[in-house]
């Protein structure tokens, strides 16, 4: 068998055309080929069971070797002789089907995933709200000066366009009770004059976590975790006092400027910090409005400006672009998150 | 609000503290400091001068002779308040005043002007321009101003919003208390005149008719006063904070308002017989001291002199009772008004004064007494010697008692999430003016009367006081402990996101956002009048009153805007529409709407329409909703629903939306040279299962075959009719039928079209034989013939 093997290799080396290779194949593997005959002519009656077995193994090995060698020779032959069709592979790729998602959707989708990974539900809410959910239940009774801060669009029937996604806090507490962990993204409205940094229609994402023994230290840790995920890097946060009637204590959360790492630059107005989101421990009265016992439960709430975040993330200098419908703007954003 | 550090330094030692440090620490512990400004006074060479004589030159100018010590100067002066004998500030030639102008000797109207008499602004002192400084006669003529006043001050600008809940911080003393607590330095006490010494005097006749809106009204009457110029230092502080100065009686009320946050009012006592606090009661007019006639409503709270209204409570005094140069008797009001009442009247009348702004934060009533005692002290300090004619007369509740609250100390540890030392709690609270002591792990807190009840009444309010001074920066973050639970996914939102992705990623749509209201001007152009809508009472613009009941009108506007920029584009919006449902009920629906626009030369309208229809079919399929049906519609309720130009989209026989294309005259208004295909879907009806029950169907082990048949049929009858005929053909081997292409034109009879279909056949049991295939083909052709159809 070794002789056949050596001879086959020599024959294949000598074969220069595909016809030559085919001839080699017939000579060895054809019906009257050397290898085929090897088996046909074998006298199995003269062999012991062990010998038969060994013959079978050697024969199969030889046959496989021959097949492989011949196939490889054929492949070499093909690749050296057939030229591929000539196309201009430097022409640009064709893509007729990709559109664009709105930057707010992109940021919202990303945040929803982050919050879900931390065990928050995502809830939707009404745009048209009642005074109760938008103000009263958030510890902002009629004539409260905090109503000044949010110029409200009132409807003729006494309803209003929600001024913040906080309007969902008491709805969520009523519906799910405590404990609850939820975020509510959505559109909000304030009667403001529009300029490059003010819009009357914008997006927020409110978050609420109510459980036994929720503390300020928890709030800081969760916010730091979320923001690290949002900005894809370690974020330094700080709290300072801020006033919002529905939290006590209330905070403004700043992040260390990501552009200058706290050194002070034009983005952070030389302060090294960027005011990012208001937050605080849920006011006991808000818990009561949501039928949750403030002696048994505590919680924190925070409000992320989705519009602001989208502007930061995509370097959008003018808030008015977001609702402009201008395709030169829309087409700059990806279709996939 | 602005805070003068020079003023703060009167109560707290600020040495070794830079303004930036103070601003930063206040921001971190109390309220946001938005800016630090330096006020530099131009005092060099400016001297106290006395007006010796005045000679009018014309309507406005006077020629004035001024004495500065032994020197005499002349000047031409345009100030309306210049008068003989007055003392003011004189800048002789050669002096540089604020703004960098150097005074020179010059000729005006033939007279020599050797310098100028200065206003506060000209000296860089601040304040509104109101003529030249009017200074007390006691100042020595010729004295240098630089010796009398600090050459500079630093002003902190504090964000008003962050002071909404802190009425005590609307005065310098409250801010000084914070600074003292932050830097752990002593706070110097306020010097006061104890009013209980007048308790034997008769009460001033006072009636309080509206205790709800005026929880406490106090006053005290005195004579022997005069409306003289205020001391220079006092004027200097008021000017630095942008206040105009008038005379000591009025200036002191403003000074105390800026010091304690408590607004006061000075009435000329000779004009009053008895004070009553009561609502206006009817509608009518009242003239405030700025000379404006105000239209009053019955609820407005008024201070009355018997039956005559004399002040708009808490907002502004009246013209008929104000202090004048003839005043010798003073009735000093120190009152507390309800925030809501002041706010409503001030907002309605559009008067936002320093006083109303402070009352709107609900000042604590106890401040009324402190303010009166402070007024008397400062009046005496200014050299006046009033005779007190009434006792300190108070109606209502002063609430000048300490309130107590007991809180378990572990409440702090649990809510903060970090342990806090008990002695630290006590020292922080004490430094803020609270009483504090701990026994048996219970903190007993005494809340001082100067802190408002609205601000401090619950344990969490005390928690905030302790934590903010302890420093939020010092807290160790800790993730919460809770058991792992499955998050209930919001199928609703997930479906919406899925739809967004399908349209953007597979069908070339760009997502846009529009406003939630109609544009009335655009509606007129479109010729569309919506049915019932929700309307805004205070829209941002006259043409943005009604909330949208369809997304399409705004989408059409975006189409129009973009036609100049692109020759083909697809847009969609997943937004809300708002429908009234009677009274305060409303329905909000999620709606998916879009439009595809392409220039007419880029392809046929039919193909364009089919692309969008295909996108919607694919969307329904991807959302596992089943098959959409498109039913030609004929009714016209909105301008873009033209018969023959749109179809109803149905899902299990329920209409869920419409798909159509625009035609003239509407098309001409939006995109005259383009095709516009639009759709609108009630997305709330479009929700399929989030995890669809897709199930794998085994493929045959035996290869199948396909055949393309081109069937010639009437083009008028339409595709749907042809298909319903072809549906009648069934065969055991037939796996599916696919529509491939449509052809009309050369080689076909007029009015006919050739529709190419691909038929897939396959057997689960064996490889198809030639006989089987030929039998299938023959059967199909026979079927066609039986229906009067033929192959092309």
Q: pLDDT tens-digit profile of B109-121?
A: 889 999 999 999 9
Q: Is pLDDT above 70 for B719?
A: yes
Q: Is pLDDT above 60 for B691?
A: no
Residues 6+ apart with CB under 8 A from A247: A278, A279, A280, A281, A282, A283, A286, A300, A301
Question: Can you tell me the distance from the alpha carbon of B250 to that of B238, in angstroms, rounded to the nearest whole number?
Answer: 12
Q: Is the dihedral of CA B564, B569, B575, B580 positive or negative?
A: positive
Q: Is the peptide bond before B245 cis (omega within 30 degrees of 0)?
A: no
Output the pLDDT for position A82.
66
Contact B473 A179 (CB under 8 A): no
Contact A97 B508 (CB under 8 A): yes
pLDDT band, very low/low/confident/very high, at B212 (cuts 50, 70, 90): very high
Contact A261, A273 (CB under 8 A): no
Q: Is pLDDT above 80 for B657?
A: yes
Q: What's the mean pLDDT when you consider all of chain A? A: 90
Nearest CA in chain B to A216: B416
Contact B334, B359 (CB under 8 A): no
Lowest mean pLDDT: which of A282-296, A309-323, B194-208? A309-323
- The residue extents of the domains of chain A are 2-79, 103-330
Residue B760, min C-alpha distance to chain A (Å): 28
Phi, psi (deg, nearest 5) at residue B499: -60, -45
Question: Can you tell me the distance from the alpha carbon of B141 to that of B51, in angstroms, rounded to the nearest whole number?
Answer: 10
Lowest mean pLDDT: which of A220-229, A260-269, B566-575? A260-269
Identify all chain B residues contacting A160, using CB atoms and an 8 Å cutoff: none
Nearest CA in chain A to B544: A153
The first and second tokens of residue A110, run together, are 């990303």
Nearest to B482 by CA among A178, A122, A239: A178
Question: Can you tell me the distance from the alpha carbon of B442 to that of B413, in angstroms, rounded to the nearest whole number?
Answer: 13
Lowest mean pLDDT: which of A215-224, B535-544, B692-701, B773-782? B692-701
Give the tens place of pLDDT for each residue, A87-98.
888 888 887 678
Query: Residue A99 is nearest to which of B504, B547, B558, comparing CB atoms?
Result: B504
Give the tens place of pLDDT for each residue, B72-111.
999 999 999 999 999 999 999 999 999 899 999 999 888 9
Output the pLDDT for position B688.
58
Give the tens place of pLDDT for each residue, A172-207.
999 999 999 999 999 999 999 999 989 999 999 999
Q: Is pLDDT above 90 for B289?
A: no
Identify all chain B residues contacting A243, using CB atoms and an 8 Å cutoff: 161-166
Output the pLDDT for position B128.
65
Question: Can you tell me the distance from the alpha carbon of A203 to that of B602, in angstroms, rounded to the nearest whole number?
Answer: 38
Number of C-beta neighbours around residue B638 at 10 A:
21
pLDDT band, very low/low/confident/very high, at B627 (cuts 50, 70, 90): confident
The first and second tokens of residue B38, run together, are 């330096």
Q: Is pLDDT above 60 for B692?
A: no
Give the tens place of pLDDT for each residue, B397-431.
999 999 999 999 999 999 999 999 999 999 999 99
Nearest to B676 by CA among B576, B571, B574: B571
Cβ contacts of B81-85, under 8 Å, gap ≥ 24:
B81/B130, B81/B131, B81/B132, B81/B134, B82/B51, B82/B54, B82/B117, B82/B131, B82/B132, B83/B51, B83/B54, B84/B51, B84/B52, B84/B53, B84/B54, B85/B50, B85/B51, B85/B137
Best of B359, B414, B510 to disrupt the A interface (most A CBs within 10 Å) is B510
Q: What's the mean pLDDT when you consider all of chain B? A: 93
Helix axis angle for A103-117 and B491-506, nearest 10°, is 140
Q: Is pLDDT above 70 for A228?
A: yes
State the ipTM, two decimals.
0.86
B236-B240-B241-B247 Cα dihedral, nearest 10 degrees: 30
**Quick one: what percent of chain B has pLDDT higher than 90?**
83
Residue B174, min C-alpha distance to chain A (Å): 16
Question: Can you tell me the distance from the alpha carbon of B470 to that of B420, in angstroms, rounded to the nearest whole number?
Answer: 9
- CATH class of the domain whose range is A103-330: alpha beta
Output the pLDDT for position A87.
82
Output the pLDDT for position A331.
93
Output the pLDDT for position A40.
83
Output the pLDDT for position B595.
98
Best of B494, B511, B543, B564 to disrupt the A interface (most A CBs within 10 Å) is B511
B93-B96-B99-B101 Cα dihedral, nearest 10 degrees: 40
Q: Is pLDDT above 60 for B690?
A: no
- For every residue of A189-251, DSSP letters joined together read E-----BTTB-SEEEEEEEEEEETT--HHHHHHHHHHHHHHHHTS---EEEEE---TTEEEEE
Output the pLDDT for position B718.
85
Question: Can you tell me the distance from the alpha carbon of B4 to that of B11, in angstroms, rounded to the nearest whole number?
Answer: 12
Give the tens place of pLDDT for each residue, B295-324.
999 999 999 998 999 999 999 998 888 899
Which residue ranges form the domains of chain B, and what is each CATH number?
2-40+154-182 (3.30.56.10), 47-149 (2.40.50.140), 195-396 (3.50.40.10), 408-474 (3.30.56.10), 491-685 (3.30.930.10), 705-791 (3.30.70.380)
Residues 6+ apart with CB under 8 A from B471: B28, B29
Contact A218 B561 (CB under 8 A): no
> For residue A241, what are the β-bridge partners?
A251
Output the pLDDT for position A270.
84
Give the tens place of pLDDT for each residue, A131-186.
999 999 999 988 887 776 668 999 999 999 999 999 999 999 999 999 999 999 99
């Amino acid at each position: 068998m070794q002789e056949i093997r050596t001879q086959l290799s020599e024959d294949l080396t000598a074969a220069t055309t595909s016809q030559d290779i085919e001839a080699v194949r017939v000579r060895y593997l054809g019906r009257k080929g050397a290898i085929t005959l090897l088996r046909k002519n074998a006298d199995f009656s003269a062999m012991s069971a062990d010998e038969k077995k060994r013959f079978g193994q050697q024969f199969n090995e030889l046959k496989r070797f021959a097949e492989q060698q011949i196939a490889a020779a054929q492949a070499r032959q093909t690749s050296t002789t057939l030229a591929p069709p000539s196309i201009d592979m430097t022409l640009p790729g064709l893509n007729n089907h990709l559109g664009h998602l709105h930057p707010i959707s992109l940021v919202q989708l990303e945040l929803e995933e982050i919050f879900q990974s931390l065990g928050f539900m995502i809830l939707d809410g009404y745009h048209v709200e009642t005074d109760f959910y938008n103000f009263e239940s958030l510890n902002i009774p009629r004539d409260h000066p905090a109503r000044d801060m949010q110029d409200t669009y009132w409807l003729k029937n006494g309803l209003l366009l929600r001024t913040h996604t906080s309007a969902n806090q008491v709805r969520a507490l009523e519906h799910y009770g405590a404990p609850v962990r939820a975020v509510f993204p959505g559109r909000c409205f304030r009667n403001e004059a529009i300029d490059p940094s003010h819009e009357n229609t914008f997006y927020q994402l409110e978050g609420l976590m109510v459980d036994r023994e929720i503390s300020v230290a928890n709030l800081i840790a969760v916010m730091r975790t979320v923001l690290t995920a949002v900005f894809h890097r370690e974020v330094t946060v700080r709290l300072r006092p801020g006033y919002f009637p529905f939290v006590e204590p209330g905070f403004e959360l700043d992040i260390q400027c990501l552009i200058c790492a706290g050194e002070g630059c034009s983005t952070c107005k030389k302060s090294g910090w960027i005011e990012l989101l208001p937050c605080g421990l849920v006011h006991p009265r808000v818990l009561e409005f949501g039928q949750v016992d403030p002696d048994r439960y505590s919680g924190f709430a925070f409000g992320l400006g989705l519009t602001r975040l989208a502007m930061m993330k995509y370097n959008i200098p003018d808030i008015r672009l977001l609702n402009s419908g201008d395709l030169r703007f829309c087409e700059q954003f990806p279709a996939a998150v | 609000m602005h805070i003068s550090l020079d003023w703060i330094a009167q109560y707290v030692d600020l040495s070794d503290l830079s303004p930036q440090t103070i601003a930063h620490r206040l921001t971190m512990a109390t309220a946001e400091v938005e800016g630090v400004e330096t006020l530099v006074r131009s005092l060099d060479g400016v001297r106290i001068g006395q007006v010796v004589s005045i000679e009018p030159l014309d309507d406005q100018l006077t020629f004035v002779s001024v004495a500065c010590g032994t020197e005499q100067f002349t000047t031409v002066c345009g100030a309306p308040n210049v008068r003989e004998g007055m003392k003011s500030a004189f800048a002789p030639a050669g002096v540089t005043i604020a703004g960098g102008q150097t005074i020179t000797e010059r000729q005006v109207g033939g007279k020599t002007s050797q310098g100028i008499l200065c206003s506060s602004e000209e000296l860089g002192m601040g304040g509104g321009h109101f003529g030249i400084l009017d200074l007390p006669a006691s100042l020595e003529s010729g004295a240098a101003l630089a010796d009398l006043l600090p050459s500079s001050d630093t002003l902190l600008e504090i964000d008003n919003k962050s002071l909404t809940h802190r009425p005590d911080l609307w005065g310098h003393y409250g801010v000084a208390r914070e600074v003292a607590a932050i830097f752990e330095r002593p706070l110097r006490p306020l010097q006061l005149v104890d009013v209980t010494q007048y308790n034997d005097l008769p009460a001033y006749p006072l009636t309080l008719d509206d205790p709800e809106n005026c929880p406490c009204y106090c006053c005290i009457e005195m004579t022997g006063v005069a409306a003289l110029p205020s001391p220079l230092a006092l004027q200097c502080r008021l000017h630095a904070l942008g206040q105009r100065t008038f005379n000591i009686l009025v200036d002191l009320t403003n000074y105390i308002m800026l010091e304690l946050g408590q607004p006061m009012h000075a009435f000329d006592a000779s004009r009053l017989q008895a004070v009553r606090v009561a609502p206006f009661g009817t509608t009518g007019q009242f003239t405030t001291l700025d000379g404006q006639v105000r239209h009053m409503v019955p609820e407005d709270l008024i201070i009355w002199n018997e039956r005559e209204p004399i002040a708009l409570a808490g907002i502004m005094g009246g013209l008929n009772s104000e202090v004048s140069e003839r005043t010798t008797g003073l009735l000093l009001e120190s009152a507390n008004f309800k925030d809501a009442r002041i706010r409503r009247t001030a907002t309605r009348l559009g008067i936002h004064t320093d006083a109303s702004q402070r009352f709107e934060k609900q000042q604590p009533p106890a401040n009324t007494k402190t303010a009166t005692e402070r007024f008397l002290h400062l009046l005496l300090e200014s050299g006046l010697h009033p005779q007190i004619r009434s006792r300190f007369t108070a109606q209502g509740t002063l609430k000048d008692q300490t309130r107590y609250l007991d809180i378990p100390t572990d409440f702090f540890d649990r809510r903060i999430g970090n342990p806090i030392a008990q002695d630290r709690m006590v020292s922080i609270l004490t430094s803020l003016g609270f009483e504090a002591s701990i026994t048996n792990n219970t903190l007993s807190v005494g809340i001082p009367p100067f802190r408002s009840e609205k601000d401090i009444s619950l344990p969490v309010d005390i928690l905030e006081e302790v934590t903010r001074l302890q420093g939020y920066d010092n807290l160790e973050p800790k993730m919460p402990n809770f058991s792992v639970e499955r998050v209930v996914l919001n199928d609703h939102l997930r479906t919406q996101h899925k739809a967004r992705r399908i349209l953007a990623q597979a069908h070339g749509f760009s997502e846009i956002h529009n406003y939630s209201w109609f544009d009335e001007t655009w509606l007129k152009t479109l010729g569309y009048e919506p049915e019932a809508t929700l309307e805004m009472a205070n829209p941002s613009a006259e043409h943005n009153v009604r909330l949208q009941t369809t997304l399409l009108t705004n989408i059409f506007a975006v189409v129009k805007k973009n036609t100049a920029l692109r020759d083909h584009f697809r847009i969609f919006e997943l937004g809300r529409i708002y429908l009234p449902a009677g009274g305060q009920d409303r329905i909000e629906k999620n709606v998916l709407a879009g439009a595809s626009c392409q220039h007419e030369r880029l392809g046929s309208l039919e193909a364009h329409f089919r692309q969008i229809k295909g996108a919607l079919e694919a969307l329904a399929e991807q959302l596992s909703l089943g098959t959409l049906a498109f039913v030609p519609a004929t009714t016209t309720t909105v301008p873009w629903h033209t018969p023959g130009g749109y179809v109803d989209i149905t899902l299990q026989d329920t209409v869920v939306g419409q798909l159509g294309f625009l035609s003239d005259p509407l098309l001409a208004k939006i995109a005259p040279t383009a095709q516009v295909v639009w759709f609108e879907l009630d997305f709330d009806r479009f929700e399929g299962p989030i995890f669809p029950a897709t199930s794998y169907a085994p493929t045959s082990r035996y290869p199948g075959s396909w055949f393309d048949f081109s069937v010639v049929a009437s083009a008028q009858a339409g595709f749907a009719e042809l298909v319903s005929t072809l549906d009648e053909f069934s065969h055991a081997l037939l796996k599916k039928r696919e529509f491939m292409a449509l052809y009309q034109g050369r080689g076909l009879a007029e009015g006919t079209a050739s529709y190419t279909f691909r038929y897939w056949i396959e057997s689960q049991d064996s490889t198809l034989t030639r006989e089987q295939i030929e039998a299938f083909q023959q059967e199909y052709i026979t079927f066609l013939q039986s229906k009067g159809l033929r192959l092309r």
